[in-house]
Amino acid sequence: MACWSPENATRAYLQSLKMGKRGKEPDVTEFISALAAGNNAQLMVMVSSSFVASTALALVAAAHQTGGRVVCIILNGLDAVNSSKDVLGSYANSIEFVAGDAQNLLINQYKGADFVLIDCNIDIHKGIFRAAQESTKQGGGVMIVGYNAQHKGSWSEFNTQFLPIGDGLLVTRLTAYQKVGDGDGNGDGVVKGRRRSRWVVTVDECTGEEHVFRITSTHQRVIQA
């Protein structure tokens, strides 16, 4: 994935404010939009059981900044796809809708996705999350975000960061590792790099505003053949 772009993040955040309606809940959709745009995501894939218009618009706003694609995988079939298009109106033209098996589509058709957004209200959300991680082994890096993640059990196996925004966000960023040599012990070894991110949420005691910061460090390990 490309380097963080604060300009894209800010523009996507502001555009998502204009596209959607502000509510009383924390700005989940605006945060998602800024996160995708700030990471210069080129292929954004959203997985939902039916459809969430505001969340999809967040990715559309990000795509306007990065020049990327937005794909929405809907599990409940073509009727849900058609209903989603009706709700979005002209914005539907900025989204590629697909109905089918999200796990299979992520591993095969959309293995190049660098931003995956998953509704954790889906019964098989952990399987979809795992499929998004599996796709990293076949392509480049990926940022995976789960929303509606509060009270969904333990996620320790996925090495995620939980953010107390809205109904809870889970965020993880993975990078593919690079092999050196032919894999049969005849090369110079394997260089395995991974960016580890830590999210810090602070609250302004005077205004009550939430501020979210991402701290990233790179750990690299060399395994000799």
Would you state the pLDDT for residue 216? 56
Would you state the pLDDT for residue 141? 79
Would you state the pLDDT for residue 83? 86
Q: Which domains does the chain have, with CATH numbers?
A: 6-176 (3.40.50.150), 177-225 (no CATH)
Phi, psi of 82 (to 5 degrees): -65, -40
Asked if 144 contacts 137 with a C-beta cutoff of 8 angstroms, the reply is no
Place of tokens 């596209």: 19
Would you state the pLDDT for residue 4? 53
CA dist 75 and 80 (Å) reads 8
Would you state the pLDDT for residue 185? 38
Phi, psi of 161 (to 5 degrees): -115, 130
pTM, rounded to two decimals: 0.70
Would you state the pLDDT for residue 63? 94
Which two structure tokens, joined as six digits, stand for 96?
Answer: 């590629």
Cα–Cα distances (Å) from 57 to 94, 143, 200, in that order, read: 9, 18, 26
Which two structure tokens, joined as six digits, stand for 95?
Answer: 């989204």
Which stretches in the chain have pLDDT values below 70?
1-26, 137-140, 176-225
Would you state the pLDDT for residue 131? 93
Cα–Cα distances (Å) from 208 to 4, 50, 58, in that order, read: 27, 34, 24
Q: pLDDT tens digits, residue range 206-223?
A: 655 555 555 555 444 433
Q: pLDDT tens digits, residue range 55-94?
A: 898 899 999 989 999 999 998 878 888 888 888 888 899 9
